[in-house]
C-alpha cells in the first residue's frame, strides 16, 4: 500500500461533488490525463512557489493567509501514530519554540493538528517566515519525506480526489476549486502566482513520490504546455 492509499483509506474523503467541475474542464478542453490520472490543467499550470516570507503572520499583507498558520490540517491515525512514536525527538526539536518551552502543548485534536498561538503546533517562527518542524526533523535525521510530515502538508496546494472508478483527479487550490476543496479562496495565498514556475513543476517531488518520475514528468509537461 502506498502512502497515498494509506492516507486515503484512513482519511475523511469529504463530501464535495467534483463532477460538475470535471465536466466543465472536459467541455473547455482543459481536462488532461495520463494513465489513471485526470488532470486539472488550469489549476496545475498556474504559477506557484512556497515563499513563507509572503504569507507568515507578521510578514504578510492584511488579507494573505498561510497553510501553516490558517488551515486546519487533518492527520490520519497512522500519521498521528508515527509522530507520537518519534515524540521524544519531536519535543527536543521544537524546544526552542516559545510555545513548547514550558512543556509540549497538546498536538492532536480529534484527527487534526492543534494551532496554539494561531499557527500549527509544529510551525516554527523564523526570520524567514514559518518553517515546518517535522520537515526539518525529517531532514536532520535522514528520514524520508512523509515519515513525519502529514500528507495534506506534503500535497499543499495540490488536491487529490479519488474517483468512484478508482482513478485519481489531480487538482489544486485555484479560484475555481478552493470552495470544493474546503480551502480559503485562492487569492488569499500569495504563493499562488509568486513565481514563473508552474504549480506542477513546483510539486514535482511529491508527484514523483506518489506516482514515479516518469508520470510526474508527464504531468509537468502537460501543465507547461497548458500554460504556454
Ligand atoms: S505539520 Fe508542518 S507543514 Fe503541516 S501545517 Fe504544521 S508546520 Fe505546516
pLDDT at 2: 62
Distance of alpha carbon 188 from alpha carbon 206, whole angstroms: 23
Does residue 208 surpass a pLDDT of 90?
Answer: yes
What is the value of pTM for the model shown? 0.90
Give the start-to-end residue ranges of the domains of the chain: 3-12+20-48+157-227, 65-141
What sign does the CA torsion over 43, 206, 81, 99 have?
Answer: negative
For residue 120, the ligand 1 atom closest to its alpha carbon is: 6
Distance of alpha carbon 199 from alpha carbon 202, whole angstroms: 5
Does residue 13 surpass a pLDDT of 60?
Answer: no
pLDDT at 170: 97
For residue 152, the ligand 1 atom closest to its alpha carbon is: 4
| Ligand 1, pocket-test mutation among 126, 138, 151, 153, most atoms within 8 A of CB | 153
With cut-offs at 50, 70 and 90, classify the pLDDT of residue 221.
very high
To the nearest whole percent, how much of the chain has pLDDT over 90?
88
Q: In the structure grid, which three cell numbers stand for residue 26, read together?
A: 472536459
Q: List, for residues 140-185, the tens digit of each pLDDT value.
A: 999 999 999 999 999 999 999 999 898 999 999 999 999 999 899 9
Amino acid at each position: 500500500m502506498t502512502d497515498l492509499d494509506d492516507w486515503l483509506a484512513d482519511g475523511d474523503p469529504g463530501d464535495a461533488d467534483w463532477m460538475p467541475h470535471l465536466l466543465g474542464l472536459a467541455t473547455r478542453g482543459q481536462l488532461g490525463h495520463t494513465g489513471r490520472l485526470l488532470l486539472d490543467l488550469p489549476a496545475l499550470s498556474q504559477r506557484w512557489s512556497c515563499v513563507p516570507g509572503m504569507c507568515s503572520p507578521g510578514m504578510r499583507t492584511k488579507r494573505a493567509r498561510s497553510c501553516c498558520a490558517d488551515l486546519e490540517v487533518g492527520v490520519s491515525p497512522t500519521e498521528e501514530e508515527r509522530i507520537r512514536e518519534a515524540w521524544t525527538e519531536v519535543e527536543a526539536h521544537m524546544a526552542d519554540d516559545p510555545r513548547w518551552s514550558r512543556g509540549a502543548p497538546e498536538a492532536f485534536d480529534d484527527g487534526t493538528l492543534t494551532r496554539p498561538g494561531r499557527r500549527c503546533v509544529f510551525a516554527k517562527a523564523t526570520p524567514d517566515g514559518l518553517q515546518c518542524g517535522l520537515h526539518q526533523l525529517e531532514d536532520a535525521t535522514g528520514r524520508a519525506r512523509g515519515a513525519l510530515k502529514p500528507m495534506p502538508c506534503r500535497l499543499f496546494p495540490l488536491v487529490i480526489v479519488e474517483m468512484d472508478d478508482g482513478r485519481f483527479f489531480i487538482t489544486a487550490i485555484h479560484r475555481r476549486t478552493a470552495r470544493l476543496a474546503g480551502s480559503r479562496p485562492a487569492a488569499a495565498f500569495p504563493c499562488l502566482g509568486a513565481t514563473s514556475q508552474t504549480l506542477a513543476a513546483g510539486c514535482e517531488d511529491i508527484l514523483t513520490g506518489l506516482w514515479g518520475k516518469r508520470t510526474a514528468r508527464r504531468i509537468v509537461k502537460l501543465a507547461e504546455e497548458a500554460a504556454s
